[in-house]
Amino acid sequence: MHRTKQFLSTIQSSPIFLLHLFFIGMAVLFITLWGWRFEDLRASLHKEFRYKGEIALRSIADQLAGNLDGHFHDLTFFRRSLLELDQNPLLLTTEKKAAMIAFQRTHPAIAAINLLDAQANKIIWSSEGQLPTPLLKATKFTQLKRNPDYLVGRPVVLLPGKIWVMPMREHLLNHQGQVVGYIGSPFRLSRLKNIHTPEDMDILIKGAGHIPVAFWKSGTWQLPAPQDHWTGQYLRVVVPGYPWTAYVRWSSLAFAHNFWRQNIWQSIPFIVILLFLLILDRLSVRFLRQLLDLRQYQQAALLTQQSLLVQAEPKVMYARLVQTIVRETNAVAAFVLVPDPMTESLQISALGADQKDLRESLLTWITALNPKDLRNGSFLPERVFRLGQAEEIRFRDEMTENSPAMERRPQLRRIRSMIAYPIILQDAAQVEAVLVVAHAKTKHFSQALKALIGQLASSVGLALTLWKRHNALADAEAEIRKVAYYDSLTGLANRRLLNERLEKGLTRARQNSQSIALGILDVDDFKGVNDQYGHDAGDALLVIIARRLEEALRTSDCVARWGGDEFVLLFEGLEKRQVLEAVLLRLERVLESPAKLSHDLLLPVRVSLGICFCKDAGLIENQDAMLRCADQALYAIKAKKLERSQFWMVYDADLQLQPESEAFGDKVT
């Protein structure tokens, strides 16, 4: 049931199938009309043939009876006027014999004149010198009802002349009316040719016992065979006055000839209409397929352009492009080639194919190409990259069969045509890459498909241009931001960025009720380093200290260069003062090792750090207040740098300097 619904859904969603169905329905309708007309004409022709056959059959039966009656009348006249004048009709004289021979010669239908005895078992005299034994026994004759003196036998063939005759007899009567013998006259059935008979009909004459007498076929009367017994549809008429029946039928060839002779001109319009429907179906399907392909191509272009709106790396763009082309255009493969900056030869950046083995074969083939061969112009993508113009090639059968590359990789034989388009940057008007599409048909790339591929290549070129512009703008913005917010020597945040982060840090500390601390770090005796070793050494020392500060601080902390040899440290997210103590101890360990300025110059790192710690950020009026507090703490610790036990001092929230022993006590200020 599910498969049936799925099949019906596929039918309903297939415009081409529905169009085929429409034209098939129209063709079935016209064929039905033609079949109805055909059957009507066939029935009419059968009726016409039947009517024609009845008329012809009755005419033939009447003509046959007339021929036989005429023969009997001649015999009757001859026997009455010559033989029965005597008391004994069988008494022959020379004059009688001569008369009978003359009578036979004047009647070609008579094969002979025979006189037989009263039992009809012996021939007494024959004009043709026939043997005494009759052709047929007396029992083989049938007496006619309308005239008992007339007897008719079944047809026989006289040898050696192979004359086809019908034995016919009459009684010889004496003056008392007694039968004293018979006069026989075999009738030549070949004389039936005088009977007018239609040539397109077969006629069979049967005698008593359904024995075939004569057969009319192909325009001539023929000797019937014993197996000439008809079955099926035929007409029959009794021959008047004789125990014979005439049958008629028309041959299938004659019927077909007459049918098509009458129906051919009426069938031509139906045939023309069917041919017109067939041609219209082909043209409509082709046009509809082009429309559907165009719609699909437009959707593919829209999808590709929408995907290109999302800024991505070129490889991602190329991958989306080839996948869309293979999926939406029925291509067997599509790939993008880009120049290698080292070798200047083209290499695959993205490759898509409808089959895995074809993808692997293409990848292996293109990768194995010799760079020298790529530069001589024999490789399609190389020519397109160099000339900047699209190009299409088609492969003949002999090319695919004799190609060494295709012999090693038979999957490549599926490719019958390829087209390549350059991907051009809009700003520089230079070819950035080459898009290649392959198909299994030789003539597949229609104008609509070429327009689509060209549009996709242009869209990717525009997307690449925008991507490069975006990257250049982002780099410029990053450079501006770096100059505006970062120190050019150490790469640390500068005073402007520190002020922003300090303001945001205070806001977060107030909102989350967390502690915050700010420290100012100063390099001791830095002027002496510049004076003794030079400003380059001083700058190198500042860079080393900056890296060590970044290493020691947490990710939530911030370090900035305040100016000269001063650094500012911002500590956020302090749950308690012990967390700050741990960070400061780590700073002390990191900074205590000497700084190696060159392979033979090591300088001790001495710094002083003043810290403003605030457990409640609400007590701080503004960030300048914290900086003043930290600066006072720094001043205090630098004053005691000769006898101090640690390099930092913490300023409490009551603006009182804590003794070194209470710097990290449990007292909360």
pLDDT of residue 225: 63
Residues 125-140: b if buried by 16+ CB within 10 A, e if exposed: bbbeebeeebbbeeeb
Summarised one tens digit per residue, pLDDT across range 118-174 is: 888 888 888 887 788 888 888 888 888 888 888 888 888 776 666 778 888 898 888
Summarised one tens digit per residue, pLDDT across range 354-366 is: 888 888 888 887 7
pLDDT of residue 666: 38
pLDDT of residue 209: 67
Kindly report the CATH number that applies to the domain delimited by 486-662.
3.30.70.270
Q: How far apart are CA 289 and CA 277, in angstroms?
A: 18
Asked whether the beta carbons of 113 and 100 are under 8 A apart, the reply is yes
The gap between the terminal CA atoms of the chain, to the nearest Å, is 82
CA 467: distance to chain centroid?
A: 38
Q: What is the three-class DSSP state of 603?
A: strand
Q: How far apart are CA 538 and CA 363, in angstroms?
A: 56
Q: Give the residue ranges of the chain where pLDDT is below 70.
A: 1-13, 159-162, 192-200, 208-209, 216-233, 251-252, 254-255, 262, 289-290, 292-294, 296-297, 300-301, 304-311, 369-378, 396-408, 428, 652-669
Q: What is the three-class DSSP state of 519?
A: strand
- Is the pTM above the cut of 0.75? no
Q: Which two tokens stand for residue 61?
A: 């039966």
Q: Which two tokens stand for residue 130?
A: 């026939």
> What radius of gyration, in Å, describes the C-alpha atoms of the chain?
63
CA nearest 593: which of 584, 583, 604?
Answer: 604
| Mean of the per-residue pLDDT values of the chain | 80
Q: How far apart are CA 48 and CA 51, in angstroms?
A: 5
pLDDT of residue 218: 62
pLDDT of residue 659: 42
Residue 336: its H or E element:
strand 333-339
| The two domains 1-271 and 486-662 share their CATH topology (first three levels equal) | no
Q: How far apart are CA 596 and CA 587, in angstroms?
A: 18
Amino acid (1-letter code) at residue 232 = G
Instruction: Kindly state which CATH superfamily the domain 310-472 is placed in.
Output: GAF domain (3.30.450.40)
Q: Where are the domains of the chain?
A: 1-271, 310-472, 486-662
Summarised one tens digit per residue, pLDDT across range 178-191 is: 888 898 888 887 77
Asked whether the beta carbons of 487 and 561 are under 8 A apart, the reply is yes
Residue 52: its H or E element:
helix 15-78
Kindly report the CATH number that applies to the domain delimited by 1-271.
3.30.450.20
